[in-house]
Structure 1
Amino acid sequence: MKCLLFYKPYGVLCQFTDNSADGGSRKTLKDYIKIPGVYSVGRLDLDSEGLLLLTDNGRLKHHLGHRKFAHPRTYWVQVERIPNDQDLDKLRSGIQIKDYRTRRAQVKLLEREPELPPRIPPIRDRKNVPTCWLEITLTEGRNRQVRRMTAAIGFPTLRLVRVAISIKVAQKKDPKSQFYSFGLDSLQPGEYRELTATEKQIIQGLF
């Protein structure tokens, strides 16, 4: 089983080919990953960054990607203006977005800007509008969900970086589900690494 962790840069498609009408001018995973036969587990939008897991195992792709298994994903989110706790409680309890209601989310306001590589290109800078960073953990991954959630409470997302993917694992000594988290660690945008033997063993324990 092949498994990779990739730091997807801004402006890169979460697929290996660009089938757009302009002839495929956008960057894809093929520009960074030379290992054949792997596919992304879930997606990150073109304008989002961060951790992407890729595998050649169809069962694993389904298990980690389907919302019914509720594997947590954590994002650092830069938004316009500064929400208060009452604003964030709307996200914590679930919010209606078009035809669905989001699950409860873990949300907190970060005390300081996280240490991240600069985005290329940088976000638009409106000097008269303050910004802040949120940490949001979801157990589902609908299309552009984080952006729609923050917009729904009046705080548009400026930058979105997925920093962790967690999996539920059952320990033999404890039948209750516990979590193992994969993070960006020392990866830089455009870099990837293969999972260690120990990490593969943990993932294989899902089945």
Structure 2
Amino acid sequence: MLIAFNKPMNVLSQFTSEGGWPALDGFGLPKGVYAAGRLDRDSEGLLLLTDDGGLQARISSPKFKKPKVYYALVEGVPDQTALDALQNGVRLKDGQTAPCKAEAVDVPEWIWDRDPPVRVRKSITDTWVRLSLSEGKNRQVRRMCASVGFPVVRLVRWSVGPHDLTDLAPGKWREVVGV
């Protein structure tokens, strides 16, 4: 079984609450499934869950290079130099990131209002950046964007491999066909 879940902001990618944060157990997910990969508490979007260990490994292991698409709302307006740096890979404390696709985009048509809302500051323009990468270092998108001078204020994972959030509201899930 493979489940696509739209994880809301401030929900843990585990079935046990911790530190006062809600967990996956509050969303009526089928028994016996577990997350294939993770999505940080302060990130939103697609989280795949499965009851199949082999499938979990094919989804989450970096050796299978499943592309993941993220939409990051960043502070400022990244110029072509910053986007080129992201695309070529940047040096982080734990090593060089692999090349990825990165482009500034309009506000995604499908994006929902976040709860809690993103803090708006009149003196700083925010820009959406679409990134497609196939590795998964800890907090990688946030660290990559910060390393080129554009901190992330909102991060939404849109897709993993062929699976995406089409018609899936925050906190909702559906069963999907495998990877």
Q: Give TM-score scaled by structure 1 length.
A: 0.84
Encode CA deviations 1:44-70: one digit per residue, 9 max, x unaligned.
Answer: 100000011100000111111011111
Residue among 118, 122, 125 paired with 2:117: 122
Q: 1:19 to 1:122 in 2, by over 3 A?
A: closer
SS of aligned partner of 2:142 = helix
Q: How do 1:87-106 residues align onto structure 2 when only pairs under 5 Å count?
A: 87-106=82-101
Q: What letter is aligned with 2:2?
A: C
State whether structure 2 residue 54 is matched by structure 1 residue 59. yes
1:143 maps to 2:124: no
Q: Quote the residue 1:194 is aligned against.
A: 175
Q: Which amino acid aligns with 1:12?
A: V
Greater Rg over alpha carbons, structure: 1
* CA drift at 1:19: 4.0
Runs of 5+ unmatched residues, structure 2 = none
Distance in 1, Cα, partners of 2:76 & 2:9: 22
Cα separation, 2, equivalents of 1:57 and 1:16: 17
Alpha-carbon distance in structure 2 between the residues aligned to 1:80 and 1:19: 30
C-alpha offsets along residues 5-25 of structure 1, whole Å, 9 cap, x if unaligned? 0000000000000244xxxx2
Structure 1: state its 5+ residue gaps.
167-180
Deviation digits for residues 80-126 of structure 1 (CA, Å, limit 9, x no counterpart):
0001111111111111000211000111110x211311000011111
Runs of 4+ off more than 2 Å: none
For the residue of structure 1 that corresponds to 2:102, the secondary structure is strand
1:31 shift after superposition: 0.7
Q: Which moved more, 1:73-82 or 1:34-43?
A: 34-43
Q: Distance in 2 between matches of 1:3 and 1:121?
A: 29
**What CA distance in whole angstroms lies between the structure 1 residues aligned with 2:164 and 2:26?**
22
Q: Which residue of 2 aligns with 1:159?
A: 154
Q: How does 1:71-86 map to 2 (within 5 A)?
A: 71-86=66-81
Q: Partners in 2 of 1:34 and 1:49 — Cα distance?
A: 17
SS in 1 for 2:55: helix
The equivalent of 1:37 in structure 2 is 32
Greater length-normalized contact order (CA 8 Å, ≥ 6 residues apart): 2
CA RMSD of aligned residues (A): 1.0
SS of 2:74's equivalent in the other structure is: strand
Match of 2:3 in 1: 4
Cα separation, 2, equivalents of 1:92 and 1:183: 22
Counterpart Cα distance in 1 of 2:135 and 2:11: 22
- Report the residue type matching 1:113 in the other structure: V
How much identity, in percent, do the aligned residues show?
A: 42
The residue type equivalent to 1:192 in the other structure is W
